[in-house]
């Protein structure tokens, strides 16, 4: 078994949660934003749900769900911020 690829998500209430993504480098290199959102939703079911939450890495909002995590520069143990989307398209 290879190493376990993970990211850290700072949740809505300030909690830090480690999210397991995959076991191989090949899987990690082919992982898309939508797959990450699904895993975060599983780990944090009290979140606003897929449509009500947004993830931010560095200064970029992960809004292109078909984009690869590597295209955003996300690596093993990267820290992401979860925010709530508010009506009107703004993010708090």
| DSSP track, 40-79 | HHHH-TTSS-TTTEEEEETTEE---TTSBGGGGT--TT-E
- Total of domains in the chain: 1
Q: Does position 48 have pLDDT exceeding 70, yes or no? A: no
pTM higher than the cut 0.85: no
Q: Does 92 map to a domain?
A: no
Is the CB of residue 38 less than 8 Å from the CB of residue 19? no
Q: Does 89 map to a domain?
A: no
Per-residue pLDDT band for 86 (boundaries 50, 70, 90) equals confident
Q: Does 90 map to a domain?
A: no
Q: pLDDT tens across 18-37, in order?
A: 999 999 999 999 999 999 99
Q: Does 91 map to a domain?
A: no
Q: Does position 74 have pLDDT exceeding 90, yes or no? A: yes
Q: Does position 77 have pLDDT exceeding 80, yes or no? A: yes
Q: Does 45 map to a domain?
A: yes
Is the CB of residue 43 less than 8 Å from the CB of residue 28? no
Domain with residue 47: its CATH number is: 3.10.20.90
Q: Does 39 map to a domain?
A: yes
Is the CB of residue 40 less than 8 Å from the CB of residue 78? no
Residue 64, C-beta contacts closer than 8 angstroms, at least 6 positions apart: 33
Domain boundaries, position 70: 5-84
């Amino acid at each position: 078994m290879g190493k376990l690829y993970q990211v850290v998500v700072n949740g809505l209430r300030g909690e830090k949660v480690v999210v397991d993504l995959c076991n191989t480098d090949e899987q990690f290199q082919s992982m898309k934003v939508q797959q990450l959102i699904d895993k975060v939703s599983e780990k944090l079911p009290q979140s606003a749900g897929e449509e009500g939450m947004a993830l931010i890495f560095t200064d970029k909002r992960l809004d292109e769900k078909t984009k690869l995590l590597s295209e955003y520069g996300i690596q093993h143990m990267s820290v992401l911020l979860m925010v709530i989307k508010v009506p009107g398209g703004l993010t708090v």
